[in-house]
Amino acid sequence: MATPRSIRYLNEVRALNALFRRGGMSRADLARRLNLNRASVGYIIRDLLAAGLVRERSGGAGRAARARAGRPGIVVELDSGSATFLGVEIGVDHIAVVAIDLGGKAFLRRSVEYRTSARSPAFTARRVAELVGAVARSLEGGRGRIQGVCVAIPALVRDGTVVNGLMLGWRDVPLGDLLREALGRRLPVLVENDANALAIGETYGMASNPTETVVCLDIENGAGGGIVIGGELFRGATGFSGELGQLPLGGAGFTAGRPRSGHL
């Protein structure tokens, strides 16, 4: 059941998304964008200011707003340095970590060679935790506090579990739980298929049309895809839409990774 608190939280998310996609704007413009009255938007901005997620500056509120007010308007914009998020890629032959700010800009990257199929999932989770810890220490006293970690992996993923990682030799691995245990810190951890993560990363900043469909292909050691419709990831009936790699074709087959008879 929706409560006033949950509704305000959702409207805060909508406001942050609008500022992310459209840039800074006046309270009046934001109210029109969200289809809310100015009083409601005032409360939302007050809470976001208190949380340090947005900031105010003078000027640039638009010609119409300046004409009505007779003076430069106040623009509300994201405070990009107020929060940091970490993205981790567990690849076939490497592990990479990237740090991004609230505005979606990457400002730090680390990568190490790593043969994932030769190591156990638990060992890999601990190696990821080591890299995340090293990046976190390098950020201390600088950018905003780390708010979450997303781990992308070339595998079929459902609810944090690697259902099948063909090129890694992983099956039914509770990777989300292993990572949370290895990290030992109270951070939200999300595990996602790498092609889905690519699709969201490429389309999230777009001013999506409700009917717009975008398909992103991730072709590296294998081949996968992610489908975004109207800004939302489309998972399909079983949660694995877009997975075009490792199709069984004939008897001999060929592959750039671990040999699998009859797979393209």
pLDDT for the residue numbered 2: 78
Which has the higher per-residue pLDDT, 220 or 192?
Answer: 192
Per residue in 98-138, pLDDT tens? 999 999 999 999 999 999 999 999 999 999 999 999 999 99
Contacts of range 23-26, beta carbons closer than 8 Å, 24 or more positions apart: 23/77, 24/57, 24/60, 24/75, 24/76, 24/77, 24/78, 25/61, 25/62, 25/75, 25/76, 25/77, 26/61, 26/62, 26/65, 26/73, 26/74, 26/75, 26/76
Which has the higher per-residue pLDDT, 213 or 251?
Answer: 213
Residue 220 three-state SS: coil
Q: Which of 244, 245, 263, 242 is nearest to 254 (CA)?
A: 263
Per residue in 216-257, pLDDT tens? 998 887 788 999 998 889 998 888 888 877 666 666 555 555
Residue 135 CA to residue 129 CA, distance in Å, equals 10
For residues 32-55, average pLDDT: 94
Q: Is 16's pLDDT higher than 90?
A: yes
**What's the chain's Rg over C-alpha atoms?**
22
> What fold does the segment set 4-78 form as a domain?
Arc Repressor Mutant, subunit A (1.10.10)
| CATH 3.30.420.40 location in the chain | 83-200
pLDDT for the residue numbered 60: 55
Q: Is 171 within 8 Å of 124 (Cβ atoms)? A: no
| CATH 1.10.10.10 location in the chain | 4-78
CATH 3.30.420.40 given to domain 83-200 = yes
pTM to 2 decimals?
Answer: 0.81
251: its two tokens: 């008897």
